[in-house]
Each structure stands twice: as C-alpha cells, then as structure tokens.
C-alpha cells in the first residue's frame, strides 16, 4: 500500500499519522467510550496521542442516541497533512455526511436485513410446528 506522508510529518521515525478510535476511561469499567484521535501509527491504541479530534459513545442514551462529536476543522487539517483514517472512523464520518458513505456500511446494513428476514422466516415456521405438535 502506498503510504502518502507529507513533508511536514517527516520528523518522525518512519511511521505515519492515523486518525483512529482510542478507548478512554479504564479497562476495568465494562463501559466503553472512544476518543477520535490523531496519533502515530506505531503507538499503542490508548497511549499518548497527538491531538484529540472528537469522541464516540457506543452505548445509546435514554433518548436512544449514540453521541459522536468531531472537530471538522482539525480533521481537515490532519487529512491535509496526510493522516489516514481507520475503517471505523471512516464509517462514522461517512454516516455523518462528512465523508462519502463507506461501502462496508451498506454491506453491513444488507447483512443485518438478511439476518432479520431469516429470523422472521424461522419464527413463523417454529410457531407452525408447535401448533402442529
């Protein structure tokens, strides 16, 4: 894969900058919460990052919303400097309308719908069988 890296990032030792989700909070809490972060590729997922660009809360709140925030100004800057977004970040930003839609989002939606249809197809059959018995 061609790694584009702008002149501004050549100060580091050969890695490149990514925009990815880093888990915030502590691992013992059983409550995930992610930060959208610009970090070097080789660093650990949760360790020192360059800049925080937003947050993502995967658990829905009482209004059934998953809150995602992103600092569009700084994301544009880092993308301009040659940062790569990872797949989950690209999916989230595609859902937001900031990026075009990620193809995997569409595929996942189709797969889910197929699963739902399978389940509905299976449930009436089970009900029929029980009635026969």
Q: Given the complex with other proteins, which of 2 and 133 has the nearer CB atom? A: 2
Size of the site for other proteins (CB under 8 A): 34
Q: Given the complex with other proteins, which of 96 and 128 has the nearer CB atom? A: 96
Binding mask 50-89 for other proteins (x = CB under 8 A): ----x-----x--xxxxxxxxxxxx-x--xx---------
Which of 130, 125, 35, 41 is closest to 88 using CA atoms? 35
CB atoms within 10 A of CB 75: 22
Q: By CB under 8 A, is residue 112 in contact with other proteins?
A: yes
Provide the CA 47 distance to its chain's centre, in angstroms. Answer: 18
Least gap, CB of 110 to other proteins (angstroms): 8
Rounded Cα gap, residues 36 and 68, in angstroms: 9
Q: By CB under 8 A, is residue 113 in contact with other proteins?
A: yes
Least gap, CB of 133 to other proteins (angstroms): 32
Q: What is the largest CA-CA distance in the chain?
A: 74
Q: By CB under 8 A, is residue 99 in contact with other proteins?
A: yes
Q: For the chain, how many residues are written?
A: 133
Do 22 and 39 touch, CB atoms closer than 8 A?
Answer: yes
Instruction: Identify the residue among 108, 120, 125, 128 touching other proteins (CB under 8 A).
Output: 108
Q: In this structure, are strands 84-85 and 17-23 parallel, antiparallel, or unpaired?
A: parallel
- The residue ranges that bind other proteins (CB under 8 A) are 4, 54, 60, 63-74, 76, 79-80, 92, 95-101, 105-106, 108-110, 112-113, 116
């Amino acid at each position: 894969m061609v790694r584009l890296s702008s002149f501004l990032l050549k100060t580091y030792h050969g890695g490149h900058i990514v925009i990815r989700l880093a888990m915030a909070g502590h691992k013992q809490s059983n409550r995930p919460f992610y930060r959208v972060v610009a970090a070097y590729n080789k660093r650990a997922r949760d360790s020192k990052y360059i800049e925080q660009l937003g947050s993502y809360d995967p658990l829905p709140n009482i209004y059934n919303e998953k809150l995602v925030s992103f600092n569009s100004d700084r994301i544009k800057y880092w993308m301009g400097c040659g940062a790569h977004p990872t797949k989950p970040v690209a999916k989230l930003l595609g859902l937001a309308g900031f990026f075009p839609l990620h193809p995997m989002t569409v595929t996942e939606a189709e797969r889910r719908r197929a699963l739902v249809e399978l389940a509905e197809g299976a449930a009436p059959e089970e009900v029929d069988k029980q009635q026969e018995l």
